[in-house]
Amino acid sequence: MFDFIKKKIKDSINSIQKKLSKEEESEIKQDLKKESNIIVEDKEELKKDLRREDKKELKEEINEVGKEVKELEKEEQEIKLKEKREPRKKKVFSHIITEDDVNLIFSEIKSALLENNVALSVLDKIHEDLSVKLVDQSVSIINNKKAIEKAIKDSITDVLLEYSTEDFISKIKSKKPFVLLFIGVNGAGKTTTIAKLCKFLQSNGLKPVIAASDTFRAASIEQLEIHAKRLGVEVVKHTYGADPAAVAFDAIKHANSDKDDVVLIDTAGRSDINKNLIEELKKVKKVSKPDLTIFVGDSLTGNDVVKQAEVFDKEIGIDVNILSKTDVDKKGGAVLSISYVTKKPILFLGTGQSYTDLIPFNKEKTADFILNN
């Protein structure tokens, strides 16, 4: 994930660093030239001052001047020899970053971010952040790369929102049964994600039960039952075509009587978000009164998954996001966009087919990964 974005950002940072470094090297050369000119001028002034009638005094002073010149030349030679053995510490010149510099950085990464499915609103945010963090900042030839990297990292971190798994588990343990409602389009990986989350909950000492409220898609119930059997989790189900809200209601009732800790409600999706699906999900939510509504999105669909999340949030209301298939997503635009656009945090990333391939999302690590690998 983030393969293309990482390369482009690094190339952009190196490009602007070279630009700033060239400017500073030019200033260093100009400064050394000025020092050389001053020495030449001093020599000429001394010669003028020595044009006197008293030849004896003139000769003595010429000798003195000659000694001084030789001393200067000797010191200059010693400095040059020292630089060859051990480079002389350059005077640290500063460059004040301008809006043009920021535009150069951003223009180089903008196309890559667009190609990698980063939402336009996120691009605007990153551009704005870079201007605020960098314009008028004084940077030296030594630290300009670090300053630029830090500004980009801070900006990426700012657009990401995370939901701590510690807070998630703590919240679940505060109520029994805790109800989780899963929504998303067909093929996003809701069922597999539910199975992975059951494994995660079990590893934290919690007892889950699944509500098979996707009564629309063929074989959806059987798919859930296969996962549940492997994990030792009960499934509450009705027949295909049954009312999904009734299935959710019965699962919660079962959890109360069986002292289950968590109810995970699977729901139907569609290839498109149509009115019937929205109305069905609204009913399930009204009946089940979930403590958290989780949107599961396929990261490979890029901007589409962000738009889907926006619609589901507007129509149903979502609390957190889980993105599936991030292990095969080379672009990473969905991860960078979804939480900023929906203003809802990311809880987990799905990274494979195994039940343990569900990793807690961490925005700091994500920003570090983009810039440092």
The full 3-state SS of the chain, as one line of letters, equals: CCHHHHHHHHHHHHHHHHHHHHHHHHHHHHHHHHHHHHHHHHHHHHHHHCCCCCHHHHHHHHHHHHHHHHHHHHHHHHHHHHHHHCCCCCCCCEEECCHHHHHHHHHHHHHHHHHCCCCHHHHHHHHHHHHHHHCCCEEECCCHHHHHHHHHHHHHHHHCCECCHHHHHHHHHCCCCEEEEEECCCCCCHHHHHHHHHHHHHHCCCCEEEEEECCCCCCHHHHHHHHHHHHCCEEECCCCCCCHHHHHHHHHHHHHHHCCCEEEEEECCCCCCCHHHHHHHHHHHHHHCCCEEEEEEEHHHCHHHHHHHHHHHHHCCCCEEEEECCCCCCCCHHHHHHHHHHCCCEEEEECCCCCCCEEECCHHHHHHHHHHC
What pLDDT shows up at residue 147? Answer: 80
Place of tokens 């660093």: 17
Percent of the chain with pLDDT over 90: 51
| pLDDT, average across residues 276-294 | 96
pLDDT in tens, 178-187: 999 999 999 8
pTM of the model: 0.79
Q: Indicate the length of the chain as a whole number.
A: 373
| pLDDT, average across residues 252-273 | 93
pLDDT band at 138 (very low <50, low <70, confident <90, very high): confident
pLDDT in tens, 73-82: 777 677 667 6
What pLDDT shows up at residue 88? Answer: 47
Over 50: is that where the pLDDT of 109 sits? yes
- Cβ burial, residue 223 (10 Å; 0-12/13-18/19+): middle
Over 70: is that where the pLDDT of 196 sits? yes
| pLDDT, average across residues 110-135 | 87
Start-to-end CA distance of the chain, whole Å, equals 11
- Cβ burial, residue 115 (10 Å; 0-12/13-18/19+): middle
Closest C-alpha to 124, from 313, 368, 337, 342: 337
Over 80: is that where the pLDDT of 315 sits? yes
Query: How far apart are alpha carbons 201 and 188 in whole angstroms?
Result: 21
pLDDT band at 294 (very low <50, low <70, confident <90, very high): very high
- Cβ–Cβ contacts within 10 Å for residue 286, how many? 9
Higher local confidence (pLDDT), 7 or 210: 210
pLDDT band at 177 (very low <50, low <70, confident <90, very high): very high
Instruction: Report the mean per-residue pLDDT for the chain.
Output: 84
Query: How far apart are alpha carbons 149 and 164 in whole angstroms?
Result: 26
- Cβ–Cβ contacts within 10 Å for residue 84, how many? 9
Over 70: is that where the pLDDT of 53 sits? no
- CB contact set of 246 (below 8 Å; sequence gap of 6+): 238, 287
Full set of structural domains in the chain with CATH = 3-159 (1.20.120.140), 165-362 (3.40.50.300)
What pLDDT shows up at residue 44? Answer: 65
What pLDDT shows up at residue 151? Answer: 87
